A and B are shown apart, each in its own frame.
Chain A
Amino acid sequence: MKLLFLTAAMIALPMTASTALAAPKIGAPAPAFTAMSAEGTPVSLSDYRGKTVVLEWTNKGCPYVKKHYESSNMQELQATAARDGTVWLTINSSAPGKQGHVDSAGAAAEMAHFDTIQEAYLLDHDGKVGRAYGASATPHMYVIDDEGMLAYMGAIDDRPTSDPADIKGAQNYVASALGALAAGETPSKAATRAYGCSIKYAD
C-alpha cells in the first residue's frame, strides 16, 4: 500500500521524486548502507552487527551543531558511548558546494579541531544514506540496537535552541536511549522531532 502510494506520488510529483526522503520505522531493521569514510575505506552498517550504533548527522556550519560541539556536549556523549562499546558514526550529507560540505581532508580537520571521538566520519555526498534514514536536520540522531533494529530517531535533546546555556538541564534523548538499551529496555522516547538546520542535500 505504502509502496503503491509512494510510487503514485513519485509519478505525480516528478519534482520531489528525486529527493523523496524515506522515513524508517522504530523497531524495524535500520536501513543497510555502505559509505566511504574520511580515511577512504568503505564502512557498512552490517560491519557492526552485535553492537549498538549511533548515527549523527552533522554540518559544521549549522549553529545547532556548533552549540553541541563548541560546548563539548557532543564529544562527551561520544566518549561515554565509546566507553560502553557503542559504535559512533558521524555522517555528513552536505552536497558539494553547499554549507558544511567536506572532503576527506576537511573531515579530518574538523575531527581534529573538535577532538571528536567516533568510529568513522562518513562522507555521504550524494545523500543516499541520509535519504534512506529520512534525516532532515542537523544534528539528527539515530540509535540502532545490537540486533540492527532502529531504537531511537530524532533530536539530540529536548531544548530546540542554539544557545549552549540550554544544554545544562536538558534531557539528552541519545544518552537516555543508550542507557535504556544498556539496561535491556526500549527507550521511553523512541522518536522525537529533530531540530536544527535542514540537511543540505544535493538538489
Chain B
Amino acid sequence: MGACPSVPSAVSNALPKDAEVGIMSVMHLSKILMTLLALLIVLPASAQLVQNPYARIELKAGPAEAGARTVAIVMTPMAGWHTYWKNPGAAGVETRAQWELPRGASAADIQYPVPSRFLVSGIMNYVFEGESALLVDMAGLPQTGPHRAALTLDYLVCDDSICVPESAALSADLRDIETSDRQIAEYRSALPARDGWTGQFAIESDVLRAAISMPGAARVTDAYFFPLIDGALDYNAPQAVSVAGGKLVLETAAGYDPGVTEIPGVLKLFMGGDAVGAELLLSAGDVPAMGAPLAAGAPPAESAGAPSPSLALAFGLALLGGLFLNVMPCVFPILSLKALSLAKGGASPAAARSEALFYTLGIVTTILALGGALLALRAGGASVGWAFQLQDPRVVAGLLLLVTAIALNLAGLYQLPGISLSGDGAAASGGKSGAFWTGALAAVVATPCTGPFMGAALGAALVLSGPAAMVIFLGLGLGLALPFLAIGFVPALRHRLPRPGPWMARLRKLLSLPMFATALGLIWVLGRQAGVDGLVIGVGAALLLGLALWWLGMSGRKILPMLTGAAAVIIAAMVPLKAQEGAAAAVTTAALPNSAAFSRAALQGLRDEGVPTFVYFTADWCITCKVNEKGALSDADVVQAFQDAGVRTLVGDWTRADPEITDYLASHGRAGVPLYLYFAAGDEARLLPQILSADMLIALTREPDTA
C-alpha cells in the first residue's frame, strides 16, 4: 500500500479545477497524509479486504480440491462509479492482477462476468457498475500447510466525469477466507456461458456485419457484442440487430483493423427483462443481409443493394448444384435424350439455339415458381424448406404418375405427338413448346434429387431477402439448363455427339431403367408417408395411367383413354395424408447403436450429461441421406467405433414437415436435409460434410474429449 500512486490522484481530482497548478507542495503533503490514512484503514482490517477511496476490493476463496480452488476478487465501486471489463472499450484500462503464490502453485487468467455498456458523451466504456466478482482458477496449491496468497490489483475506477486509478494489495491464507461452493457457483453464473457459440462476420465498406446462428433468435429483444480484441469494430458506433432466417444479424461500424480474421468476444442477449451472455467467436465468412428488426431493437440499417460477395458465392454454389443435378437418375435420361434429339442432323443452328433457350426458360420458370411458392409460404409463417412439396404424399403420388409416364414412354409402351421427350420430331414446329415443357419436366423431377451442393446455397436463399433468394433459385435453374444450353449454342459440341442410328432406340429403352428406379424410390417414399394403403393406391393409379397412355397412343378414340387417365390422377389424389399408426415409427434407417428420435430437449440432455452425440437429419425422399445411411452410417466399423466410444445418436426425420426440425436446420443455415452434426463431449457442434465417409466418422470418436 505504501507505494500506491492512486490515492493522491484521487485527491487532486477532487480539487477544484485549475487549482492544482502551483500547489505541488500541498499535493505532496496530501499524498503523505492519504497514504498514512490508507494504511490506518487497511492495517486493522484483515488483509483480505481493502477499502480504497472509490472502490472496495475483497478476496474470497472457494473450497480446495486436490490443490485447486477458485478465488474471487470481489470489486465494489462507489455508487455511480464503475470498474472495467477486460477490453475496457474506447477509453479506460484493463484490471491487472499480480499474484504471489506458494511454490508450484499457479493462477490462471481472470474470468470476467458479462459486462455492461456505459456510454458517456458518445464514448463507449465496457464496465461493471456495482459489485463484480472476477474469478481466478488456481492449481498446484500444497496439499498440506497454508495457502498463502498475495495479490496486487491495479484497476481504474471512473464515474461519468473523472477517472481514478487505484491499487489494492491483499494477502491472506486462502484457507482462512474460504467461502461456500454455492457462493462461488453464484459468482460463476455471472460469467458468460461457454457453449462454444460461433458466428461469421464480414467487413464491407467500413461496415462490419456478423451473423450468429441461435435457437430462439426470434425471442431476442436486444443484443450487443462485446469484442475482446481491439480494432475489429468501432466501440462508439451503435450496433443494429436483426433476425434473418433463425440467425441474429448484427451490423456496426468496423474498426481500424480491416485484416482481422477472428473476433473473440461476449454476446449479451436481452430477452424481455432478462440478460444472458455467452462467449462467442466470430470468424470471417459469409453473412446474410440484415433481416427483420427485433421487437425492441433499433431498426436495421439499409441492407446492401448490390449483390454482396456472399450472394455471388451462393449463386455460384446453386449453379454448381444445378449442374450436378443433370447426372442424377431422375434428370439424366431427359437430358441425354434431349441432347441426342439435337444431334439428329436435321436441326439447324438457329433451331438448336431456340430449343436450348426454350428448354432453359422452362427450367428457370419452373424453379422460380417453386422457389417463389416456398418464399411465399415462409413469409406466411409456415416452416417449410426446399423440396417441401415432397412432404405431401399427394404430391409424391403425382410425381410418381409423372415419372411412371416418362419411364413407360422411354420403354416404348406408347408414343404421343407433342411430347418431344424422345426427340422424335424435335425440330418440328412444336419444338419450342416441347422444349419448354421438357425443361419444366426436368425441373420438377429434379427436386427429389436435391444434390449435396445445393444444401448450402438453398440455405442461404432462405435467409436472404426475397429478390436475393430468387437470384439463388435462378442460379439453380441455369445450372440445370447449362449442359443443354451449351449443346444448343456450341455447334462443335453438337458435332461431337454420336451419329444417330438404331442404337438410339436401344439407349432410350435402357434409359427407362433409371426412370423406373426413380419411380420405385417415390413408391417407397409414398409407403413411408402414407402406409401400405397409400402405396397401393399410388401404384394402382400408376398402373391405370399406364393403361390410359397406351390406349391414347393407339390413337383414334380419345375420350375413353382420357377419362381413364383422369381417373388415375383422381385416385392418386386420394392417397391418405397420414400413415396408419406405427408406419412411421420405424426410423431404423441406419444401423447406428443407441439411436433415438431427435428433439432439442433430448440433445440438450445428452450435452448436459457430457455424452458424445451424433445428430443427423434425414428424409426418405433425400437420396444423399439414404446413400449415407446405407453406406458410412451402416458400416460395421463405424457401428463398432460408436459403440466403443459410447456415442449416442439422435435422428431427425424430416420426411414429413416438422417445424422443430425445420427451425433447427435453419439455425445451422440449412434449408433442407441432410445435416450431420457431431458434438464431442462438452464441445460445440461440429458440422460434418454432406457426403460421409466411414474413416471420418471413426476418427471423430477417437478424438480426445475437449471437456
Instruction: Return chain A residues, CB-CB under 8 Å to B237.
Output: 6, 9, 20, 23
Q: Is B154 an interface residue (CB 8 A)?
A: yes
Could you tell me the distance in whole angstroms from the C-beta of B217 to the nearest C-beta in chain A? 20
Contacting A at CB under 8 A, from B228-247, are 230-231, 234-238, 240
A191, B257: Cβ atoms closer than 8 Å = yes
Could you tell me the distance in whole angstroms from the C-beta of A109 to the nearest C-beta in chain B? 5
A136, B236: Cβ atoms closer than 8 Å = yes
Contacting B at CB under 8 A, from A176-203, are 190-203
Instruction: Return chain A residues, CB-CB under 8 Å to B165.
Output: 63-64, 161-162
Instruction: Return chain A residues, CB-CB under 8 Å to B235.
Output: 136
B22, A9: Cβ atoms closer than 8 Å = no
* Bound form: Cα–Cα A2–B234 in Å: 12
Which among A23, A66, A109, A195 is the interface contact of B256 at CB below 8 angstroms? A23
Which among B125, B164, B206 is the interface contact of A1 at CB below 8 angstroms? B206
Could you tell me the distance in whole angstroms from the C-beta of B399 to the nearest C-beta in chain A? 45
Could you tell me the distance in whole angstroms from the C-beta of B207 to the nearest C-beta in chain A? 5
Instruction: Return chain A residues, CB-CB under 8 Å to B298.
Output: 9, 12-13
Which among A61, A64, A162, A190 is the interface contact of B17 at CB below 8 angstroms? A61
B207, A26: Cβ atoms closer than 8 Å = no
Q: Is B659 an interface residue (CB 8 A)?
A: no
Instruction: Return chain A residues, CB-CB under 8 Å to B12.
Output: 61, 66
A131, B122: Cβ atoms closer than 8 Å = yes
Instruction: Return chain B residues, CB-CB under 8 Å to A203.
Output: 121
A99, B238: Cβ atoms closer than 8 Å = no
Instruction: Return chain A residues, CB-CB under 8 Å to B316.
Output: none
* Bound form: Cα–Cα A64–B156 in Å: 10
The residue in chain A whose Cβ has the minimal distance to the Cβ of B239 is A9
Instruction: Return chain A residues, CB-CB under 8 Å to B17.
Output: 61, 99-101
If A5-B301, A153-B256 touch, whether A113 touches B5 (CB-CB below 8 Å) is no
A193, B230: Cβ atoms closer than 8 Å = yes
Which among B20, B204, B302 is the interface contact of A8 at CB below 8 angstroms? B302
* Bound form: Cα–Cα A172–B284 in Å: 32
B201-241 interface bits toward A, Cβ cutoff 8 Å, 1 = contact, 0 = none: 00011110000000000000000000000110011111010
* Bound form: Cα–Cα A194–B156 in Å: 14
The residue in chain A whose Cβ has the minimal distance to the Cβ of B96 is A161
Instruction: Return chain B residues, CB-CB under 8 Å to A2.
Output: 205-207, 253
* Bound form: Cα–Cα A26–B605 in Å: 50
Which among A8, A153, A160 is the interface contact of B299 at CB below 8 angstroms? A8
The residue in chain A whose Cβ has the minimal distance to the Cβ of B125 is A198
Q: Is B74 an interface residue (CB 8 A)?
A: no
B100-140 interface bits toward A, Cβ cutoff 8 Å, 1 = contact, 0 = none: 00000000000000000001111101000000000000000
B78-97 interface bits toward A, Cβ cutoff 8 Å, 1 = contact, 0 = none: 00000000001011111010
Instruction: Return chain A residues, CB-CB under 8 Å to B94.
Output: 160
Instruction: Return chain B residues, CB-CB under 8 Å to A136.
Output: 90-91, 123, 235-236
Which among A13, A131, A193, A202 is the interface contact of B238 at CB below 8 angstroms? A13
B154, A161: Cβ atoms closer than 8 Å = yes
* Bound form: Cα–Cα A191–B301 in Å: 27
* Bound form: Cα–Cα A101–B17 in Å: 8
If A61-B17, A198-B92, A199-B121 touch, whether A191 touches B302 (CB-CB below 8 Å) is no
Instruction: Return chain A residues, CB-CB under 8 Å to B256.
Output: 23, 25-26, 153, 190-191
Could you tell me the distance in whole angstroms from the C-beta of B580 to the nearest C-beta in chain A? 55
Which among A8, A62, A95, A199 is the interface contact of B123 at CB below 8 angstroms? A199
A63, B163: Cβ atoms closer than 8 Å = yes
Instruction: Return chain A residues, CB-CB under 8 Å to B586.
Output: none
B18, A106: Cβ atoms closer than 8 Å = yes
Q: Is A16 an interface residue (CB 8 A)?
A: yes
Instruction: Return chain B residues, CB-CB under 8 Å to A25.
Output: 206, 256
Instruction: Return chain A residues, CB-CB under 8 Å to B6.
Output: 63, 162
Instruction: Return chain B residues, CB-CB under 8 Å to A110.
Output: 21
Contacting A at CB under 8 A, from B139-197, are 154, 156, 158, 161-165
Binding site secondary structure of chain A: loop
Q: Is B279 an interface residue (CB 8 A)?
A: no
Instruction: Return chain B residues, CB-CB under 8 Å to A101.
Output: 17
If A1-B204, A134-B236, A136-B236 touch, whether A21 touches B123 (CB-CB below 8 Å) is yes
Could you tell me the distance in whole angstroms from the C-beta of B17 to the nearest C-beta in chain A? 6
Q: Is B483 an interface residue (CB 8 A)?
A: no
Instruction: Return chain B residues, CB-CB under 8 Å to A12.
Output: 238, 240, 298-299
Could you tell me the distance in whole angstroms from the C-beta of B4 to the nearest C-beta in chain A? 10
B121, A19: Cβ atoms closer than 8 Å = yes
A126-145 interface bits toward B, Cβ cutoff 8 Å, 1 = contact, 0 = none: 01000100101100000000
Instruction: Return chain B residues, CB-CB under 8 Å to A197.
Output: 91, 158, 162-163
Q: Is B379 an interface residue (CB 8 A)?
A: no
Q: Is B255 an interface residue (CB 8 A)?
A: yes
A198, B9: Cβ atoms closer than 8 Å = no
Contacting B at CB under 8 A, from A5-48, are 5-6, 8-9, 12-13, 16, 18-21, 23, 25-26
Contacting B at CB under 8 A, from A37-85, are 60-64, 66
Greatest chain A CB density within 10 A among B96, B237, B304 is at B237
Q: Is B693 an interface residue (CB 8 A)?
A: no
Which among B91, B230, B238 is the interface contact of A198 at CB below 8 angstroms? B91
* Bound form: Cα–Cα A18–B121 in Å: 9
Contacting A at CB under 8 A, from B1-24, are 5-6, 9, 12-13, 17-18, 20-22
B91, A137: Cβ atoms closer than 8 Å = yes
Instruction: Return chain A residues, CB-CB under 8 Å to B96.
Output: 161
A199, B91: Cβ atoms closer than 8 Å = yes
* Bound form: Cα–Cα A61–B19 in Å: 10
Instruction: Return chain A residues, CB-CB under 8 Å to B119.
Output: 16
Q: Is B251 an interface residue (CB 8 A)?
A: yes
A200, B93: Cβ atoms closer than 8 Å = no
* Bound form: Cα–Cα A60–B9 in Å: 11
* Bound form: Cα–Cα A98–B160 in Å: 10
Instruction: Return chain B residues, CB-CB under 8 Å to A115.
Output: none
* Bound form: Cα–Cα A108–B448 in Å: 81
Contacting A at CB under 8 A, from B328-358, are none
Instruction: Return chain A residues, CB-CB under 8 Å to B304.
Output: 1
The residue in chain B whose Cβ has the minimal distance to the Cβ of A113 is B21
B402-414 interface bits toward A, Cβ cutoff 8 Å, 1 = contact, 0 = none: 0000000000000
Could you tell me the distance in whole angstroms from the C-beta of A105 to the nearest C-beta in chain B? 9
Could you tell me the distance in whole angstroms from the C-beta of A97 to the nearest C-beta in chain B? 9
Which among B93, B236, B301 is the interface contact of A160 at CB below 8 angstroms? B93
* Bound form: Cα–Cα A99–B14 in Å: 10
Could you tell me the distance in whole angstroms from the C-beta of A125 to the nearest C-beta in chain B? 13
* Bound form: Cα–Cα A5–B290 in Å: 12
The residue in chain A whose Cβ has the minimal distance to the Cβ of B231 is A191
Could you tell me the distance in whole angstroms from the C-beta of B299 to the nearest C-beta in chain A? 5
Could you tell me the distance in whole angstroms from the C-beta of A47 to the nearest C-beta in chain B? 26
A5, B302: Cβ atoms closer than 8 Å = yes
Instruction: Return chain B residues, CB-CB under 8 Å to A98.
Output: 161
Between A and B, 28 residue pairs with Cβ closer than 8 Å are A2-B253, A5-B253, A13-B238, A16-B238, A20-B122, A23-B234, A23-B236, A25-B256, A26-B256, A61-B17, A61-B20, A61-B162, A63-B164, A99-B162, A127-B121, A136-B91, A161-B165, A162-B165, A164-B5, A190-B256, A191-B231, A194-B90, A195-B88, A196-B91, A196-B93, A196-B163, A198-B120, A199-B91
A residues neighboring B (CB under 8 Å): 1-2, 4-6, 8-9, 12-13, 16, 18-21, 23, 25-26, 60-64, 66, 95, 98-102, 106, 109-110, 113, 127, 131, 134, 136-137, 153, 160-164, 190-203
Give me the 7 closest cross-chain CB pairs, A-B, nearest first: A19-B122, A198-B91, A201-B121, A136-B90, A1-B205, A162-B165, A197-B163
B residues neighboring A (CB under 8 Å): 5-6, 9, 12-13, 17-18, 20-22, 88, 90-94, 96, 119-123, 125, 154, 156, 158, 161-165, 204-207, 230-231, 234-238, 240, 251, 253, 255-257, 298-302, 304
Known: A13-B298, A199-B121. 15 other contacts (CB 8 A): A1-B206, A8-B302, A9-B237, A9-B240, A13-B238, A21-B122, A60-B21, A100-B17, A106-B18, A110-B21, A136-B123, A161-B165, A162-B5, A191-B257, A196-B92
